[in-house]
Chains A and B, each alone.
Chain A
Amino acid sequence: MLFALLALALIALVLAAPLIVNAIQRRRATRRPHRAAGGLEDLSLYDPGRERRAEQRARELLRSCVNEEEWSMYRDLGFIRVAGRHARRESDKHNGPAYAYLVYPHKPIVAYVPASGQLLSEYCVEFPDLTGGGGRHRLPASDDVLAKWMALTSDEDRVIKRANLHLVGRQHDPARVRRDLWRLAEWERRRGSRPEIQQKSW
C-alpha cells in the first residue's frame, strides 16, 4: 500500500514538473527588471570622476596656501615638511628648529630631528567631517595635508594634544620614512636650496 502511494506521488511530481518550472521562470522574469533598474540606479549614484575632481580642487587650494617650496615638495615627494615651533635650548633658536614634522596625506604626522634624522614619534590625527551625508567623512588627500599644515602652523600645541601619540612604526614603516628623509635631502640638493628648513619666528 505504501509503495503504491509513493509511486502515485512520484508520478504526480513528474507530471507537475513542467508547471513548476514555468512558474519559477515567470517569477524570475518579473524580478529581473527590478534588479536591472536597481543596478542602473546604483550606477548613476557612483561618479568615478568625482573623487578625482575633488582631489584636483584640493590640490589647487593647497598650492594657493603654502609657499612654492612646500608645494614643490608635495608635488615631487608626496609630503610636506613643517618646522616645529618649540626650542629645546637657547641655541636652537639660532641654529634652526630642534624638530620638524613630515605631513603625509591620510597618514600620521611624523616628528623627527632635522639635524640627526632621528625619528621621534607618530601623531595620528584625522579631520573627519561628520556633518556630510552619504557616509563620506574623509577629505580629499590634499585637503587632509592642508588641514594638517594649517593646524600645525597656526596652533601646533592644539593639534598635537588632540593627536594620538605612538612610536614610529605603528602606521609608518620607519625604513620608508628614513628613505623619505633621504629623498628630501636629495631633492633639496638638486634644487640647490639650503639644507636647513624654514624657521619659525621664535
Chain B
Amino acid sequence: MSDPRRPPEERAIKFLRMKPGHGEVLLAEGDPRVEEDEERLIEEFRRQLDEGMWAAIPTTHPGSGRREAQLVKDFADVPIEAERVIFFPRASGG
C-alpha cells in the first residue's frame, strides 16, 4: 500500500502483468482520481479480466504488518491508496 501522506501528484497506480518470457510488463499507469486516467484504467482492467487474468494487489496487513495479497474482481474494489495491481493467469490444475 502506498503512503496516504504522499503528495497528490504521486498517487498514480500501475497495472503490471506477468508475462512468459518477459517478467512483468507495465500495462497502464495513471491517477484514478483523474477522469481520463480512470477511464483508461477501467478499460485496461476489464480487458485483462476478459483475457482470463486474475488481479491482485500486494498489501500489508494493518495489524500484524504481514504481507499478503488481495484479489479484486472489479476496478471499484481497488483501494485508492494502492500503488499497483498485478495481473496474472488464472490457476488451473496442473
Is B56 located at the chain interface by the 8 A CB criterion?
yes
A185–B16 CA distance with the chains assembled, in angstroms: 35
Number of interface residues of B (CB under 8 A): 30
Stretch at the interface among B2-10, B20-28, B37-45: B20-28
Number of interface residues of A (CB under 8 A): 48
Known contacts A143-B88, A150-B58, A151-B54; is-contact A132 B20 (Cβ 8 Å) = yes
Partner of B86, one of A108, A150, A199: A150
Is A125 located at the chain interface by the 8 A CB criterion?
yes
Partner of B91, one of A57, A58, A127, A149: A127
Which residues in window 59-94 of B have CB below 8 A to A? 61, 63-64, 66-71, 86, 88-94
A56–B56 CA distance with the chains assembled, in angstroms: 21
A127 touches B89 (CB 8 A): yes
A61–B90 CA distance with the chains assembled, in angstroms: 18
A67–B46 CA distance with the chains assembled, in angstroms: 29
B24 touches A57 (CB 8 A): yes
Known contacts A54-B22, A134-B21; is-contact A151 B91 (Cβ 8 Å) = yes
Contacts of A126 in B (CB 8 A): 91-94
The residue in chain A whose Cβ has the minimal distance to the Cβ of B48 is A131
A125 touches B94 (CB 8 A): yes
A137–B22 CA distance with the chains assembled, in angstroms: 11
Contacts of A151 in B (CB 8 A): 54, 56, 69, 71, 91
A54–B63 CA distance with the chains assembled, in angstroms: 34
- Further contacts, 13 of them, CB under 8 A, given A65-B86, A125-B94: A55-B23, A58-B24, A61-B23, A61-B24, A127-B88, A129-B19, A132-B19, A146-B88, A147-B18, A149-B69, A154-B68, A158-B91, A198-B64
By Cβ-Cβ distance, the 4 closest A-B pairs, closest first, are A57-B23, A150-B69, A124-B94, A153-B68
B residues within 8 Å of A by Cβ? 16, 18-24, 51-52, 54, 56, 58, 61, 63-64, 66-71, 86, 88-94
